[in-house]
Amino acid sequence: MIKTNKMFLTASAMILSVSAQAFTLKGVVVDNSTKEPLIGATVQVGGTTTGVITDIDGRFEIKDIKGKTCTLIVQYVSYKTQEIVVEKGQKDDLVIALAPDNQQLDEVTVVARKNLENERSLMMERQKSSVAIENIGAKEMSTKGISNVEEGVKKITGVSVASAGQIIVRGLGDRYSTTTLNGLPIASPNPDHKLIPLDLFPSSTVKNITVSKVYEANSFADYSGAHIDIGTKEQTGEDFFSLSFNTGGKFNTLGKDTYQMDRDGTLFKTPSLDNKLRDMSLVDFEEYAGKNQLFNTSFDVSRSKSLPEFGGNVGFGKNFDINGNTLSLLASMGVSNEQQTMLDASVRTLEATGTTLNDFSYDSYSSELKIAGLGSLGYSFRKQDQLNYTFFYARNAIDNYMLREGYDYEDHNLIGSNNVTHVYTLQNHQLGGKHFFGDKWSMNWSGSYSKTSSDEPDRRQIMFIREGSEINLFKLNRQETMRYFGVLDEKEWVGNLSGDYKFGNQNKLQAGFTYKDKTRDYSSTRFYYNLNKLNPVIGGEEDIYTPSGFLNQEAIESGLVSISRSQQPKDSYTAGNKIYAGYILVDIYPVEALLVNVGVRYESSKQWVNYAEDGGKLQRRDLNSNDLFPAMNLRYQLDKRNSLRFSFSRTVTRPSFIEMAPFLYQESYGSAQIRGNADLKNGYNYNLDLRYEFFGENGDMFSATAYYKHLEDPIEQIQQLSGGATIHSFQNANNGMAAGLEVEFRKELIRDLRLGANASFMYTDVKLPEGGAYTNTQRALQGASPYLVNADITYTPRLDDVKQLSAALVYNLQGPRIQSVGISGLGDVKQQPVHTMNFVGSFKFNEKVSLKLQINDLLNQPVIFKQEVPSTGEKVEVERFKRGSSFEIGVTYNL
């Protein structure tokens, strides 16, 4: 009878439970010891498919829960799963404290697909990592108004960006760092730089940026500065669809006059040179050029009003359940444009006595179009195994028109009308998988194909001379009026296979094999205009802007103008590099508080360049090496919040393709002439790091790092004189060094108000070899600043469950650094300290709509370069320009 009553009561309870009105639960998930919110934790209603992911504050909300009670299953990587029973009518928000799982706590590579976009999640990754890392995620980038990866890495301690996007890390230039996309190398379209331009990657496609300044054996060994890894977004949370739009402009540009040389279509199109103009013989070309129009563009310049900048991004993410397995899809596409006007800028060159040789002022007008697309497909099966495919496409097209006037070294009063268009593109495919075999064994495999290109189609220049009250065509140098077409294509294949074996409670053994094959093709063609027979009457500025009135097809066909083609064997080269590598490393805990990460990597590198000497003779330069690269990283935890790290490693610096081939190379007309050196050899670096880290509550942290790098046979740029002209070349120096101190902290001052700052103090020194025309045989490394400072203060109050305000003031100070090395008795040209400050504010109205306001470069300081004149003891200003402040207003809509 009693059993029957119990069954009846149970059945009645079930019926009442089913028919009861649904209810809502709110709460927060935290670490049970530190009380820090856990971002990205899974909270699921037991026995259902209903669940949510905790937000940046560790909070969650589950609506429409049926019945009077439910069981919540709370899971987070490296923490023990917890189940709690909750009854309807719960008034206070739940506080769920998870306990760490000691067997998984110190694992860096995790099984679950965590959301690593949030600052606190990345801080935990940083704390648990086997090696010292620094990172910045999508959420922090958004809060601080960071629009692309280049701006993001500038916020990392010890990192700065020099001219043309060159990354400087701890005073070490571009050649000392490496860049990967989701852990796999990517080719660079820029022949003068090893690293791909980082502004190709907009923040809308980036999950996080991780910077490691120490070496670990499972990475390629060609860096001593930093390994910059760009993690692209993937679908890890709830389904979403977002649409954003922004507009703005620079205060000194918007609504003002802007100038643009005749363009073949828009920046969505890459102009190209008709192949028959390259392929036909020189005799046939000269005959053809006298009768036919060769190009679709003229030297004319049009004037218009600058319109507001526009940009937009659309994103989509969805999870599909396939027989209990998960298929995740994410796609993102963004387009934006920028316009830049710089007026009354100036540049000049000096001789050893301080006398001015060339002195020009200029106005510059540029427009830029950026396109980026990301596709990510992930498949999870067997509970843990994963397959991933990622496609990334980017295109940056920059068009710049410059009008300059001044005096050259022969005292000619010259006027130059110059246009440069540069188009960078990247296409990258990645496929990878992670598989588990029991509790101890796992395997990772990945491969990528990367294709990059750098097109400089139709660089144009026409020069005039002011003689008294008249303006005439400048004819003394027949190469002054010209067109240039340059194309560089680079392809890279990468394959990686590794296996992990776990033993003991926390120890891990890893071994792997990696293959990389990179090839490059470069070619250029120049067309020079002979204007000796052309004597037009040039009335003034309008005729300078419309030279088609006299420099036209009619003048060519009548014989007043002739066009010659320069396309010599030395104007093209092919190059390649193959690397076969194997490595083994182990994470082991001799005692509970000490992690020893030690490994060794073997790399067999075969690098070659096929080129032509100045006389046209074909040559080949090979540089092969077989090396071992040991690495040791130690972490000692003083307690749960304080730890010490020590790192030692040996790495390599290989010469770039154009540096190791002794032919005279010039990427584009007007750029520096470069001659490689066939005797170059690899440089090797010995790196020491010591770091103290403290991680407190609420995301507070402090770190201090001391480092020293000994550079053996470093490759340095030198200057030589040939016929009065300066030619850049390269040579192995005897030795060099870089040392410094880095400090970083983040602190919550009061609730929702946070302060962050980092500072770097650096000393670099290199002793240059004999044979150069440089003034100083011992100096700091080119591009190195003795100090760098970043600081920001952010205020992010949550006004209610949905509405949130975010405001940030971001400051950067870049110390003085050598822009170009002084030669022939002149000192180095140094960029003076630069201060910048940005403001970013946003407001989230509801779950769907948010608004953003950003003002960049509030201080609007000019960028100034000064050169030392040892003979007089003066520092003379040789260049000055001002970019101008800008603003941006944006709105985002989420479905």
CA 623, chain centre distance (Å): 28
pLDDT bucket at 629, cuts 50 / 70 / 90: very high
Q: DSSP assignment of 537-585, as one string?
A: -B-SHHHHH-GGGTSSHHHHHTTS-EEEEE--GGGEEEEEEEEEEEEEE
pLDDT bucket at 21, cuts 50 / 70 / 90: low
Mean pLDDT to the nearest integer, 807-811? 94
- Res. 560: pLDDT tops 80: yes
Mean pLDDT to the nearest integer, 590-608? 96
pLDDT at 400: 95
**358-374 pLDDT, tens digit each:** 899 999 999 999 999 99
**Cα 813 to Cα 809: distance, rounded to the nearest angstrom:** 14
Domain-wise residue ranges, the chain: 2-98, 245-894
Q: DSSP assignment of 674-725, as one string?
A: EE--TT---EEEEEEEEEEEEE-GGG-EEEEEEEEEEEES-EEEEEEEETTE
**Cα 298 to Cα 552: distance, rounded to the nearest angstrom:** 8
- Res. 642: pLDDT tops 90: yes
- Res. 818: pLDDT tops 50: yes
Pairwise pLDDT comparison (54 vs 759), residue with the higher score: 759
302 close to 259: Cβ distance less than 8 angstroms: yes
**729-744 pLDDT, tens digit each:** 888 888 889 999 999 9
pLDDT bucket at 726, cuts 50 / 70 / 90: low
pLDDT at 392: 93
pLDDT at 521: 94
pLDDT at 590: 94
**Cα 288 to Cα 35: distance, rounded to the nearest angstrom:** 78
- Res. 605: pLDDT tops 50: yes
Q: What percentage of the chain has pLDDT greater than the value 90? A: 55
- Res. 24: pLDDT tops 80: yes
- Res. 248: pLDDT tops 50: yes
466 close to 474: Cβ distance less than 8 angstroms: no
Helix, strand or coil, per DSSP, at residue 126: helix
**Cα 552 to Cα 533: distance, rounded to the nearest angstrom:** 13
Extract the tokens encoding 558.
């009548």
Q: What is the mean pLDDT of the chain?
A: 87
pLDDT at 413: 92
In the 8-state DSSP scheme, what is residue 352? T
**648-676 pLDDT, tens digit each:** 999 999 998 888 877 776 554 445 677 88
Q: How far is CA 845 from CA 797, 841, 848, 891, in A?
A: 13, 13, 8, 11
pLDDT bucket at 557, cuts 50 / 70 / 90: very high
883 close to 863: Cβ distance less than 8 angstroms: yes
Neighbours of 243 (CB within 10 A): 14
Pairwise pLDDT comparison (579 vs 784), residue with the higher score: 579
H/E element holding 97?
strand 94-98
Mean pLDDT to the nearest integer, 333-356? 90
pLDDT at 772: 65
Extract the tokens encoding 717.
């740029």
**90-120 pLDDT, tens digit each:** 767 788 988 876 544 344 333 344 566 777 7
Q: DSSP assignment of 12-80, as one string?
A: HHHHHHHHSPPEEEEEEEEETTT--B-TT-EEEETTSS-EEE--TTSEEEEEEE-SSEEEEEEE-TTB-
**154-171 pLDDT, tens digit each:** 889 999 887 666 788 998
**Cα 100 to Cα 703: distance, rounded to the nearest angstrom:** 24
**Cα 656 to Cα 750: distance, rounded to the nearest angstrom:** 50
**Cα 155 to Cα 171: distance, rounded to the nearest angstrom:** 15
**Cα 587 to Cα 598: distance, rounded to the nearest angstrom:** 7
pLDDT at 35: 65
| Residue in 395, 398, 423, 561 with CA at minimum distance from that of residue 488 | 423
- pTM (2 decimals)? 0.84
pLDDT at 674: 78
704 close to 671: Cβ distance less than 8 angstroms: no
CA atoms within 13 A on the CB side of 644: 7
pLDDT at 6: 46
**380-413 pLDDT, tens digit each:** 988 778 999 999 999 999 999 999 999 988 889 9
Picking from 189-193, 546-550, 571-575, 623-627, which range would have the lowest pLDDT averaged per residue? 189-193
**494-516 pLDDT, tens digit each:** 999 999 999 988 899 999 999 99
Helix, strand or coil, per DSSP, at residue 799: coil
Pairwise pLDDT comparison (40 vs 457), residue with the higher score: 457
Q: How far is CA 206 from CA 35, 136, 232, 392, 407, in A?
A: 29, 10, 4, 11, 47
Distant-in-sequence, close-in-space partners of 750: CB < 8 Å, separation ≥ 6: none
Query: Domain 245-894, what fold?
Result: Maltoporin; Chain A (2.40.170)
Distant-in-sequence, close-in-space partners of 711: CB < 8 Å, separation ≥ 6: 224, 653, 683, 685, 733, 735, 736, 737, 738, 766
Find the Cα–Cα–Cα–Cα dihedral 505, 506, 512, 518, rounded to 10°. Answer: 160
pLDDT at 33: 62
End-to-end CA distance of the chain: 56
Mean pLDDT to the nearest integer, 313-341? 92
Burial letters 141-166, b for 16+ CB under 10 A, else e: bbbbbbbbbbbbbbbbbbbbbbeebb
Task: Outline where DSSP puts E strands in 292-352.
Answer: 301-305, 309-322, 325-350
- Res. 267: pLDDT tops 80: yes
Q: What percent of the residues of the chain are helix, what percent strand, and what percent coil, each to the nearest 5?
A: 10, 60, 35
- Res. 721: pLDDT tops 80: no
- Res. 542: pLDDT tops 60: yes
pLDDT at 105: 38
pLDDT at 5: 46
pLDDT at 106: 41
**828-877 pLDDT, tens digit each:** 889 999 999 999 999 999 888 999 999 999 999 999 999 888 888 889 99
**Cα 655 to Cα 758: distance, rounded to the nearest angstrom:** 32
Picking from 22-26, 568-572, 770-774, which range would have the lowest pLDDT averaged per residue? 770-774
Extract the tokens encoding 550.
């006299």
Amino acid at the residue 266: T
Q: Scan for tokens 């692309």, then name that residue.
A: 148
Domain 2-98 top-level CATH class: mainly beta
- Res. 13: pLDDT tops 50: no
Q: What percentage of the chain has pLDDT greater than the value 70? A: 92
pLDDT at 163: 66
pLDDT at 808: 94
**Cα 406 to Cα 171: distance, rounded to the nearest angstrom:** 35
| Residue in 161, 184, 159 with CA at minimum distance from that of residue 169 | 159
As a three-state string, the secondary structure of 723-744 is CCEEEEEEEECCEEEEEEEEEE
